[in-house]
Structure formats: structure tokens, C-alpha cells
Amino acid sequence: MTLADQFEQYEGYVTIGIANEMLKKESVTIPVPTMRNWVNDLHHLKVHTIPRNQRGERIFSLKDIEILRFIYEAKQRFGNNITMQAIGTMIVEKFPQHLHYDPNFDSEEDGVGGLPVLAEDRLREFLRKELQEIQTIKEEMNEVIDSYKQRLSLMPSPEEEARMKEEERIRLITEMRQNDLNRMFTEDRVRQRLRAKATELWNQNPKKIGVFKKKEDTAAKLEFIKKYEDENFQDEIKKEYTIPEQTD
């Protein structure tokens, strides 16, 4: 026999076991003892009474099953922060046309002691705190969004970024070329200075060749100047790029 057949058998009502299976098909898993406790709580709170059939079994309508699902979802959402009193108040507001309380009905939990009457003020306080927390989270999220928007506004557009990259590339190329030119000019200036110094030293004691008519040995002079230039070039270049120490 299918659930639908059993549902018809009870003229629109099903037992707690079948109600449990129907909820499972909706991915709502509630242990049967928990369902009984919730039903007892609703009765003690004078919110709603689930009737019994002739065999003394509780029988649930589709609306009753919907109420059980509502309790389950409230528990899932708020956890231990919400009481059955608070949920009862919410049920009264959501299902006003369906609820029926029977003061003559005896629950399975008789003798245990009923729950206190609905604490509406407590529910309002709980919901007020929830709203405050939600508002705080919303404000924090808005601050984060504003921060990202501000940072985004400071970033250049793709076109501007491309232009800046091109300008930087041109600047680097120009700087490299200028450095090359400066190095060439510096090396040329150093070599000229070394050649002048070498010529001065050569002229102090020039080498001459010839038997009858002495004349300056040009080849030896050029070799002397070249050798002097090569031997002293590195030291002179270092002097050009060394920052002189400041004296007090």
C-alpha cells in the first residue's frame, strides 16, 4: 500500500509514522520521538492539538505536516537560540486558520508538566537582536564594498594603464640610450686625458732614431701612448664614477 493509499484510508489524515515518511521524501528528517515532543509542546503551549483516531493514534493533516516542517526549518535556522515558545508564536501568526486547541485532550506527556505560556516579549527581544546582528553585518559588508569601490576608482582605466606602460617603456629606452652616450663620452674624455698625459711624459724624454739626422721615433711614441692609456684606463674610469667623500 502506497503512502497515498494510506492517506486516503484515514480520510485526509495520516499517522505519525506515515507523516515522518512523507517529510523524508521532502528531505526533512525528523525522528519520530522528536515529532511527538513537538506535538506535545504545541498542546501544552495551547497553540494546537493533534487529534487521535479510534485506536488512540495521533493523526496528521497535510497542514499539520506543514507545521512540523516549519518547526524543523526554524530549528535549523536558529538552533538552540530559539525556544518552542517563540516558534509557537510564529506558528500562531503563520497558520491562524488551521490551529485548534482542545483543552480536554490528554497528551502522551501528561504528568511531566507543561511548558509555560507563550513568551511573546521574549520572542520580540530575540528577533530584535537578530535584526540588529543582521544590520551590523550589512553595515560591515557596505564598508567593505565602499573600500573596494574606492580602491577601484583609484586604479587607472585599461587605456590609461596601457598609455602609462608605453610611456614607461619609452622612458626606460631613452634612459638606457642616454646612459650609453654618457658612458661613451666619459670613456672618450678619459682616453683623451690619458693620451695627453702620455704625450707629456714622452716629450720629457723622446726616443729618436737616425744616424746622421736624428728624428723622433713616431712608432715608438704611438706605442708608448697606447700602452700608457691601456694601463691607466681602468683606474681613471673608476675615479670618474666614484663619489668624492665630503670633508667636514
pLDDT at position 237 is 85
Residue 62 belongs to domain with CATH number: 1.10.1660
214 located within any domain: yes
Task: Give residue 2's pLDDT.
Answer: 41
Q: What is the DSSP string of 102-145?
A: -TTPPPTTTTS-PPPPP-HHHHHHHHHHHHHHHHHHHHHHHHHH
Asked if 109 and 169 sit in the same domain, the reply is: no
| Domain-ending residue, one of 60, 91, 118 | 118
Q: Are residues 210 and 140 in the same domain?
A: no
Contact 73, 144 (CB under 8 A): no
* Tally of structural domains, the chain: 3
- 190 within domain boundaries: yes
Which among 134, 155, 176 is the end of a domain?
155
The reply to whether 82 and 112 lie within a common domain is: yes
pLDDT of residue 80: 78
* 40 domain-assigned: yes
List, for the chain, all residue ranges whose pLDDT scores fall below the cut of 50: 1-10, 109-119
Residue closest to 59 by CA, chosen among 13, 103, 22: 13
Q: Is residue 246 situated within a structural domain?
A: no
For residue 114, the model assigns a pLDDT of 40
For position 179, what pLDDT does the model report? 86
Predicted local distance difference test score (pLDDT) of residue 205 = 84
117-140 pLDDT, tens per residue? 444 555 566 667 767 777 787 788
Cα separation values, 83 from 40, 42, 123, 167, Å: 14, 12, 9, 67
Q: How far apart are CA 206 and CA 157, in angstroms?
A: 71
